Amino acid sequence: MKKQKISILRKLLQPLWVIGVVYLFYFFNQVVFMFLGAIIKIPWKFGEISDDLLFPDFLNYLLLGLLPLLLAFLWAEKAVFRRRFLPRFFPKHPFFLKDITFGLILGPLLFSLLFLAFKSAGWINGIKQDPTLSAFQNSDLFWMVLTFLISAIFEELMYRGLHLPILATGWGLPAGIAFSAFLFSLGHINNPHISFLGLFGIMIAGLFFATAYLVTGTLYLPVSLHFSWNLFQTMFGFKVSGFNLTSLFSLEING
Protein backbone atom coordinates (compact mmCIF):
# COMPACT_ATOMS: atom_id res chain seq x y z
CA MET A 1 0.00 0.00 0.00
CA LYS A 2 2.83 2.36 0.91
CA LYS A 3 4.65 1.55 -2.31
CA GLN A 4 1.47 2.22 -4.26
CA LYS A 5 1.10 5.67 -2.65
CA ILE A 6 4.74 6.47 -3.40
CA SER A 7 4.22 5.38 -7.00
CA ILE A 8 1.15 7.63 -7.37
CA LEU A 9 2.99 10.57 -5.78
CA ARG A 10 5.95 10.05 -8.07
CA LYS A 11 3.65 9.98 -11.09
CA LEU A 12 2.07 13.26 -10.01
CA LEU A 13 5.39 14.99 -9.31
CA GLN A 14 7.33 13.70 -12.33
CA PRO A 15 5.82 16.21 -14.80
CA LEU A 16 6.58 19.09 -12.43
CA TRP A 17 10.18 17.90 -12.14
CA VAL A 18 10.63 17.74 -15.92
CA ILE A 19 9.02 21.13 -16.53
CA GLY A 20 10.95 22.61 -13.59
CA VAL A 21 14.28 21.51 -15.08
CA VAL A 22 13.42 23.13 -18.41
CA TYR A 23 12.31 26.32 -16.65
CA LEU A 24 15.56 26.45 -14.68
CA PHE A 25 17.63 26.32 -17.86
CA TYR A 26 15.22 28.74 -19.54
CA PHE A 27 15.57 31.38 -16.81
CA PHE A 28 19.35 30.94 -16.77
CA ASN A 29 19.47 31.46 -20.53
CA GLN A 30 17.33 34.58 -20.17
CA VAL A 31 19.81 36.04 -17.68
CA VAL A 32 22.68 35.31 -20.07
CA PHE A 33 20.89 36.99 -22.97
CA MET A 34 19.99 39.99 -20.81
CA PHE A 35 23.63 40.32 -19.75
CA LEU A 36 24.85 40.09 -23.34
CA GLY A 37 22.15 42.53 -24.44
CA ALA A 38 23.31 45.05 -21.86
CA ILE A 39 26.90 44.73 -23.07
CA ILE A 40 26.13 45.27 -26.76
CA LYS A 41 23.31 47.75 -25.98
CA ILE A 42 20.43 45.98 -27.69
CA PRO A 43 17.45 48.42 -27.97
CA TRP A 44 14.87 46.52 -25.96
CA LYS A 45 12.99 46.86 -22.70
CA PHE A 46 13.82 43.83 -20.59
CA GLY A 47 10.70 41.78 -19.98
CA GLU A 48 8.39 44.54 -21.23
CA ILE A 49 6.17 44.33 -24.28
CA SER A 50 4.73 47.62 -25.54
CA ASP A 51 2.00 48.69 -27.93
CA ASP A 52 4.13 50.75 -30.27
CA LEU A 53 7.77 49.61 -30.15
CA LEU A 54 7.64 46.79 -32.68
CA PHE A 55 11.37 46.14 -33.12
CA PRO A 56 12.08 45.89 -29.35
CA ASP A 57 9.02 43.62 -29.03
CA PHE A 58 10.52 41.34 -31.67
CA LEU A 59 13.84 41.24 -29.81
CA ASN A 60 12.05 40.42 -26.54
CA TYR A 61 10.26 37.44 -28.05
CA LEU A 62 13.35 36.23 -29.88
CA LEU A 63 16.15 36.79 -27.36
CA LEU A 64 14.20 36.46 -24.10
CA GLY A 65 11.67 33.91 -25.34
CA LEU A 66 12.31 31.61 -28.28
CA LEU A 67 16.10 31.23 -28.22
CA PRO A 68 16.39 30.69 -24.42
CA LEU A 69 13.61 28.09 -24.62
CA LEU A 70 15.22 26.18 -27.50
CA LEU A 71 18.54 26.15 -25.66
CA ALA A 72 16.74 25.01 -22.49
CA PHE A 73 15.27 22.04 -24.37
CA LEU A 74 18.72 21.17 -25.70
CA TRP A 75 20.50 21.49 -22.36
CA ALA A 76 17.84 19.57 -20.44
CA GLU A 77 18.00 16.76 -23.00
CA LYS A 78 21.79 16.55 -23.09
CA ALA A 79 22.78 17.37 -19.50
CA VAL A 80 19.94 16.04 -17.32
CA PHE A 81 17.65 13.54 -19.03
CA ARG A 82 20.24 12.29 -21.55
CA ARG A 83 17.47 11.28 -23.93
CA ARG A 84 14.75 12.86 -26.03
CA PHE A 85 12.04 13.68 -23.50
CA LEU A 86 9.75 15.64 -25.83
CA PRO A 87 8.16 14.65 -29.16
CA ARG A 88 9.44 16.10 -32.41
CA PHE A 89 7.50 19.30 -32.88
CA PHE A 90 8.15 19.87 -36.58
CA PRO A 91 8.81 16.44 -38.13
CA LYS A 92 9.02 15.93 -41.87
CA HIS A 93 5.79 14.49 -43.19
CA PRO A 94 3.86 14.79 -46.48
CA PHE A 95 1.09 16.94 -45.00
CA PHE A 96 3.06 19.69 -43.27
CA LEU A 97 2.44 22.24 -46.04
CA LYS A 98 -1.28 21.45 -45.93
CA ASP A 99 -1.28 21.93 -42.14
CA ILE A 100 0.43 25.30 -42.48
CA THR A 101 -1.86 26.44 -45.29
CA PHE A 102 -4.95 25.27 -43.43
CA GLY A 103 -3.88 27.17 -40.31
CA LEU A 104 -3.18 30.35 -42.27
CA ILE A 105 -6.67 30.17 -43.80
CA LEU A 106 -8.56 28.93 -40.74
CA GLY A 107 -7.41 31.79 -38.48
CA PRO A 108 -8.85 34.61 -40.64
CA LEU A 109 -11.96 32.55 -41.43
CA LEU A 110 -12.80 31.92 -37.78
CA PHE A 111 -12.09 35.50 -36.84
CA SER A 112 -14.29 36.77 -39.68
CA LEU A 113 -17.15 34.67 -38.30
CA LEU A 114 -16.48 36.05 -34.82
CA PHE A 115 -16.39 39.60 -36.19
CA LEU A 116 -19.75 39.10 -37.93
CA ALA A 117 -21.21 37.63 -34.75
CA PHE A 118 -20.07 40.68 -32.75
CA LYS A 119 -21.49 42.99 -35.40
CA SER A 120 -24.83 41.13 -35.51
CA ALA A 121 -25.08 41.24 -31.72
CA GLY A 122 -24.64 45.01 -31.77
CA TRP A 123 -21.37 44.92 -29.85
CA ILE A 124 -19.54 46.89 -32.55
CA ASN A 125 -20.96 50.41 -32.80
CA GLY A 126 -18.69 51.89 -35.42
CA ILE A 127 -15.88 51.06 -37.83
CA LYS A 128 -13.48 53.71 -39.10
CA GLN A 129 -9.92 53.90 -40.34
CA ASP A 130 -7.32 53.79 -37.59
CA PRO A 131 -5.98 57.38 -37.24
CA THR A 132 -2.46 56.05 -36.61
CA LEU A 133 -2.46 54.14 -39.91
CA SER A 134 -1.12 57.12 -41.89
CA ALA A 135 2.12 56.97 -39.91
CA PHE A 136 2.35 53.19 -40.29
CA GLN A 137 5.33 52.20 -42.43
CA ASN A 138 6.11 49.05 -44.41
CA SER A 139 8.88 48.37 -41.92
CA ASP A 140 6.29 48.45 -39.11
CA LEU A 141 4.23 45.81 -40.90
CA PHE A 142 7.36 43.71 -41.42
CA TRP A 143 8.27 43.78 -37.73
CA MET A 144 4.66 43.17 -36.70
CA VAL A 145 4.42 40.04 -38.88
CA LEU A 146 7.82 38.81 -37.72
CA THR A 147 6.96 39.46 -34.07
CA PHE A 148 3.67 37.57 -34.33
CA LEU A 149 5.45 34.66 -36.03
CA ILE A 150 8.21 34.41 -33.41
CA SER A 151 5.73 34.78 -30.55
CA ALA A 152 3.48 32.07 -32.05
CA ILE A 153 6.40 29.64 -32.36
CA PHE A 154 7.62 30.45 -28.85
CA GLU A 155 4.23 30.14 -27.15
CA GLU A 156 3.30 26.94 -28.99
CA LEU A 157 6.65 25.35 -28.09
CA MET A 158 6.21 26.39 -24.47
CA TYR A 159 2.56 25.49 -23.86
CA ARG A 160 1.67 22.85 -26.46
CA GLY A 161 5.21 21.55 -26.97
CA LEU A 162 6.32 21.34 -23.32
CA HIS A 163 3.41 21.61 -20.89
CA LEU A 164 0.76 19.65 -22.77
CA PRO A 165 2.63 16.38 -23.53
CA ILE A 166 4.48 16.31 -20.20
CA LEU A 167 1.40 17.01 -18.07
CA ALA A 168 -0.73 14.62 -20.15
CA THR A 169 1.80 11.83 -19.65
CA GLY A 170 1.74 12.16 -15.87
CA TRP A 171 -1.76 13.43 -15.12
CA GLY A 172 -3.80 12.21 -18.07
CA LEU A 173 -4.88 13.94 -21.27
CA PRO A 174 -7.84 15.98 -19.91
CA ALA A 175 -5.73 17.41 -17.09
CA GLY A 176 -2.85 18.08 -19.47
CA ILE A 177 -5.10 20.00 -21.85
CA ALA A 178 -6.78 21.98 -19.05
CA PHE A 179 -3.62 22.93 -17.15
CA SER A 180 -1.65 23.81 -20.29
CA ALA A 181 -4.49 26.11 -21.40
CA PHE A 182 -4.64 27.68 -17.93
CA LEU A 183 -0.87 28.28 -17.91
CA PHE A 184 -1.13 29.73 -21.42
CA SER A 185 -3.65 32.26 -20.11
CA LEU A 186 -1.60 32.94 -16.98
CA GLY A 187 1.43 33.71 -19.14
CA HIS A 188 -0.42 36.77 -20.51
CA ILE A 189 -1.50 38.21 -17.16
CA ASN A 190 1.04 41.06 -17.24
CA ASN A 191 0.08 42.23 -20.73
CA PRO A 192 -1.12 45.85 -20.93
CA HIS A 193 -4.89 46.45 -21.04
CA ILE A 194 -5.63 42.78 -20.28
CA SER A 195 -8.89 41.94 -18.48
CA PHE A 196 -10.36 38.88 -16.82
CA LEU A 197 -12.54 38.31 -19.89
CA GLY A 198 -9.45 38.60 -22.07
CA LEU A 199 -7.61 36.01 -19.97
CA PHE A 200 -10.61 33.69 -20.21
CA GLY A 201 -10.62 34.11 -23.98
CA ILE A 202 -6.91 33.28 -24.11
CA MET A 203 -7.56 30.11 -22.10
CA ILE A 204 -10.27 29.07 -24.58
CA ALA A 205 -7.81 29.74 -27.40
CA GLY A 206 -5.34 27.51 -25.55
CA LEU A 207 -7.86 24.67 -25.61
CA PHE A 208 -8.37 25.25 -29.33
CA PHE A 209 -4.64 25.24 -30.09
CA ALA A 210 -4.22 22.10 -27.96
CA THR A 211 -6.87 20.38 -30.08
CA ALA A 212 -5.00 21.39 -33.24
CA TYR A 213 -1.83 19.86 -31.80
CA LEU A 214 -3.50 16.63 -30.71
CA VAL A 215 -5.29 16.14 -34.04
CA THR A 216 -2.13 16.55 -36.14
CA GLY A 217 0.56 15.42 -33.69
CA THR A 218 2.79 18.35 -34.71
CA LEU A 219 2.99 22.10 -34.13
CA TYR A 220 2.64 23.14 -37.79
CA LEU A 221 -1.11 23.72 -37.52
CA PRO A 222 -1.13 25.33 -34.03
CA VAL A 223 1.68 27.75 -34.95
CA SER A 224 0.17 28.82 -38.28
CA LEU A 225 -3.30 29.12 -36.72
CA HIS A 226 -1.95 31.09 -33.75
CA PHE A 227 -0.02 33.41 -36.05
CA SER A 228 -2.84 34.05 -38.53
CA TRP A 229 -5.42 34.59 -35.78
CA ASN A 230 -3.28 37.23 -34.02
CA LEU A 231 -2.36 38.99 -37.25
CA PHE A 232 -5.91 39.14 -38.58
CA GLN A 233 -7.22 40.19 -35.17
CA THR A 234 -4.81 43.12 -35.18
CA MET A 235 -5.59 44.15 -38.74
CA PHE A 236 -9.26 44.52 -37.86
CA GLY A 237 -8.73 46.61 -34.76
CA PHE A 238 -9.11 44.11 -31.92
CA LYS A 239 -6.57 43.95 -29.11
CA VAL A 240 -4.27 40.93 -29.26
CA SER A 241 -3.74 39.62 -25.71
CA GLY A 242 -4.33 43.15 -24.43
CA PHE A 243 -2.07 44.95 -26.92
CA ASN A 244 -3.53 47.88 -28.82
CA LEU A 245 -1.50 47.88 -32.04
CA THR A 246 -1.90 49.91 -35.23
CA SER A 247 -4.48 48.30 -37.52
CA LEU A 248 -6.56 48.90 -40.63
CA PHE A 249 -9.64 49.89 -38.65
CA SER A 250 -10.54 51.46 -35.33
CA LEU A 251 -13.56 49.81 -33.69
CA GLU A 252 -16.02 51.15 -31.14
CA ILE A 253 -16.96 48.12 -29.04
CA ASN A 254 -19.55 48.14 -26.26
CA GLY A 255 -19.87 44.38 -25.68
Q: Where are the domains of the chain?
A: 2-253
pLDDT, mean of residues 141-157: 91
> CB atoms < 10 A from the CB of 129, how many?
12
pTM of the model: 0.86
C-alpha 254, offset from chain centre: 27
| pLDDT tens track for 245-254 | 555 555 555 5
Burial class, 144, CB count within 10 angstroms (exposed 0-12 / middle 13-18 / buried 19+) = buried
Q: In terms of Cα–Cα distance, which of 210, 247, 214 is closest to 52?
A: 247
Compute the Cα dihedral for 142, 69, 239, 105 and give only its sign. Answer: positive
Average pLDDT value over all residues in the chain: 83
**What is the tens place of the pLDDT at every residue in 28-48?**
999 999 998 888 777 655 545
